[in-house]
Chain A
Amino acid sequence: MTRRRQEKAGHRKKEIAAAASKILAHESSSRGSAQKSARLDTNPVGVDIGTSKIVFAQKKHGNVAFTSQLNAFISVEYSKFTESILNQNRINHYRMDESLIVYGDGAEVFANMLNTETGRPMRHGLLNPRESKAIEIIKGILDDIVAPAAKRGTQLCFSIPGAHKEAESDIIYHETILRRHLSNKGYNARSINEGLAVIFSELEKDNFTGIGISAGGGMCNVCLAFLSVPVITFSIRKGGDYIDDAVASVTGEVNTRVRAIKERELDLTEEPRNDVEDALHIYYDDLIVTLVKGLKESLAQTSKIPDFDKPVPIVLSGGSAKPEGFEHRFEMYLNKEDFPIDISEIRTASDPLYATAKGALIAAMFEG
């Protein structure tokens, strides 16, 4: 590398670090205060460990308080200056050889500035086997968001995906690693199926009877429960990431931009305005069709469905269920199928991003 190029690279690094410092100053200060209050609490805790986000829920002063962190990381070249900026701004990171691994919310900020992709410690709802640093990073994010239990044996429930035919043993590994880590923090940690957590959160008025669907980043988790007892759980390995990858692949856009359009502008009730939106419509339809067919097949295959004497509701949650019109499309495709049980209504969770964490919290409070 020539001296001129080295200087240019050094200047660019400083620019990035300074910009990151500004953006993150606000985020870190607000996050810090949330954690401080969490440290003093001994109330039960719910954690949604999703492919794209980790959400922490705890009841405080009669209300449920949520804190979240992006479940992502990025590796940047090590320099003392960058490290000091990260330290000053309390951005989660650690050093590995000649790299700095930035994880959590800070990772996305860096990824946007460097116009690159963040890495994911989880894939399809489970620890990412392709990522050697997955366990270390996810532990780091959990340590940042979940303070050690002030009282030993405090109940904590964390979400896990439903069983998938191809990866049943992987779920066991995933669950055990997370449970062990959280137990070491002093909690009495238990896992809860994501779909069941959605039911606990949203179907209280229906006596926890119905179908809960959590359409997340890595996969969609489904649970049919009767009076809080899970009857069927399953998952499909398609989620927000699948849509992002597929759309980016056919349109030539980077995933980050596709995700931005999906999260900020997409309205499935309106006609697509450009190629990216068109592709998003197509892949959302594909996701919903797969979900509906999977649900129908699971219900048809099982012999243990209880005798429902009245129609049951379906509740949709998760980041992928957020776009306007998702509920309508889901209903449309469901009506096309000859469904084995009667559905009373389809509705979206009051807060789709936090429904699973809230359900996990209810489960923890129930255990406690």
Chain B
Amino acid sequence: MRQLKELLLQQCLRDREDKTFLKPLPPSTCRRIIEEFAVLVPDPVQKLRFLNRVLERYRKTLSIYKLSPPFQETVVRKLAMDEIERLCPGARKKVRKLIRQGTISAPRPTPWNIYKYRHSIITIVMAALVLGLGTGVASFRNIISPTPSVTQESGDEHAEEIYGLVESPDEQYGEAPDEGNTKVANVSPLPGGKETAYAPESTDNSFPEYIEEPIWLVEESSDRELHSNGLRIITTFTVENEPRIYYRFPRDSDRLPTEADLSSKIVGILYHASESDIIDFIPEKNQSLKKYSKALLKYVCRNKFYHYFINRFGQVFRVVREDHAAFHAGNSVWADDENIYLNLNHAFIGVCFEGKAFEEVKSQPGGPKLTAMKTSTINEAQLISGKELTDWLRVKYHICQGNCVTHGLVSINPEAKLIGYHVDLAHGFPYRRFGLKDKSRCLLPTITEFGFSHDSYFLKVFKGHVWPGIGYSEEHLRSRAGIANIPLAEYRMQLNRRFTRWFEWQKKQKEDQSKDHDQICAMAD
């Protein structure tokens, strides 16, 4: 008993180490602003959420923005405005009205405008600095060695040769390719450091992380919903599965998750293609198209595969209710700035498009059975519905654009430590049409965090033209191994071991949870 008590004490003290009892509070003038806004939230739970999120986000805001009281006030005002809009869509208008009436104090114009355009200002300043530095370095090089250096260029060409920078996915959907994104990523100089997940597009601010404009439910009947952005959801096929509950793995640490990392929140969207047989999309085949689509939907519902299914006419069907997990992701990995998510069934929403981007081929023994098609069968109607659904989900669950990705990019073979176990939408997905950065050009957490690789079979499926993010990630991995002064193979092994430890731990937790749940259910019965 005494030993047990001591063990519990130690465990508790460890748990408490991370908890700061008193979080830093903003100064009194800022608190007045928070309180002015808080009055607009009528529900106590929502008000608690509002206060906590504003204080938390204030704490996390870079110190540079909080140097002087006017800027502190501006930051708090912006955060309060964002949060109030998030909690009560449409509240921004009310706030403006109250500012005009004098109930809420008006912002100071200069700091407000500076803060509002801070990203643009920083980008300009950084660009100016880089330009200045670049000019300086070039002049210096010319002085030291008049012969032009080819090392960097040949390195880039080599990477492009191996990883075959494919044509821009958006080209397949009639959009201009993203120029200037074909360079290898600038990686973090410190091994293990947290780097941006958007290597080649790190300066691309054209896609906001969050959608701030409200999207709301306009009408709801027993079989469908209409939302303010035009999204129509057919709800008659909705089924239940198991409630969402999962562990978040800390990105900046090797520690295993604790109870505090347990979550049931939806953090991302995972896009799938059904990769089913496809009938020609022509009027003469209308009956067959309808019949086949319906059969597929029933199959998807029966197996609880996805949360949403978009058929070839662009109709959106809710399959598994949103607060439940669906069996859509299997073994998979994705990460945002703070957390790594293993097996995304519980953390992500699965959206499936009826269509395919790979076709079966007759091949030599050992050759690939599938190969990437030049163009996907996903049509315009599906893309429009997909965009509406994405926007609505992102607003509803405050999902950042970085966590909207396709199944092919996250799927893994955990035993062989290989990426691309499933490849649906791994190429040719029109991210930009969805208001998202192109994830096929981003660093892959499977490679950068866990040292996964790909095999020759995978290359054959893509006819050697795998998506560029793989190349960037490999380059990043090599760079980090170099900085750590460890051979790449050994560094990769270390990351592999990290994955195995986490993966096995999660597997065990899942088994334990199932056992406990069965026992509790038996007790309840």
Which A residues form the contact surface with B (CB < 8 A)?
39, 147-153, 169, 172-173, 175-177, 183-186, 188, 200, 204, 207-209, 226-231, 304, 306-309, 362-363, 365-366, 368
Q: Assess the B25–A172 pair: CB atoms within 8 A.
A: no
Q: Mark B64-90, 1 if CB is under 8 A from A, else 0.
A: 000000000000000000000000000
* Residues of chain B within 8 A of A366, CB atoms compared: 45, 48-49, 52
Given contacts A184-B516, A207-B51, A226-B25, contact A152 B243 (CB under 8 A): yes
A307 to B69, CA, bound (A): 15
Q: Please name 10 pairs of A and B residues whose Cβ atoms are closer than 8 Å in the assembled complex, sorted by A.
A: A151-B243, A152-B520, A153-B245, A169-B9, A208-B47, A208-B48, A227-B31, A230-B21, A307-B28, A309-B32
A-B contacts besides A209-B35, A366-B49, 10 pairs, CB < 8 Å: A148-B521, A149-B520, A183-B259, A184-B516, A204-B47, A227-B31, A229-B55, A307-B27, A309-B32, A368-B264
Q: Assess the A306–B262 pair: CB atoms within 8 A.
A: no
Residues of B within 8 A of A (CB-CB), count: 39
Min C-beta distance of A136 to chain B, whole Å: 13
- Check B144 for interface membership: any CB of A closer than 8 A: no
* Residues of chain A within 8 A of B5, CB atoms compared: 173
Q: Assess the A39–B524 pair: CB atoms within 8 A.
A: yes
Q: Assess the A200–B44 pair: CB atoms within 8 A.
A: yes
Centre residue among B22, B35, B55, B244 by max chain A CB count within 10 A: B22
A309 touches which of B28, B262, B521 (Cβ 8 Å) = B28
* Residues of chain A within 8 A of B48, CB atoms compared: 200, 208, 228, 362-363, 366
Which residue from chain A places its CB closest to the CB of B7 in the assembled complex? Answer: A176
A148 to B522, CA, bound (A): 10
Closest 7 CB pairs of A and B: A153-B245, A204-B44, A172-B12, A365-B45, A309-B28, A366-B48, A176-B8
Min C-beta distance of B57 to chain A, whole Å: 13
* Residues of chain B within 8 A of A148, CB atoms compared: 520-521, 523-524
* Residues of chain B within 8 A of A308, CB atoms compared: 28
Given contacts A175-B12, A227-B31, A228-B51, contact A152 B517 (CB under 8 A): yes
Min C-beta distance of A227 to chain B, whole Å: 5
Min C-beta distance of B47 to chain A, whole Å: 6
Min C-beta distance of A265 to chain B, whole Å: 35
B520 touches which of A185, A230, A362, A368 (Cβ 8 Å) = A185
Min C-beta distance of A244 to chain B, whole Å: 30
Min C-beta distance of A89 to chain B, whole Å: 22
A228 to B44, CA, bound (A): 11
A209 to B32, CA, bound (A): 12
* Residues of chain A within 8 A of B202, CB atoms compared: none
- Check B176 for interface membership: any CB of A closer than 8 A: no
Q: Assess the B245–A304 pair: CB atoms within 8 A.
A: no
Q: Assess the A207–B243 pair: CB atoms within 8 A.
A: no
Min C-beta distance of A122 to chain B, whole Å: 17
* Residues of chain A within 8 A of B60, CB atoms compared: none
Contact residues, B31-60 vs A (CB, 8 A): 31-32, 34-35, 38-39, 44-45, 47-49, 51-52, 55
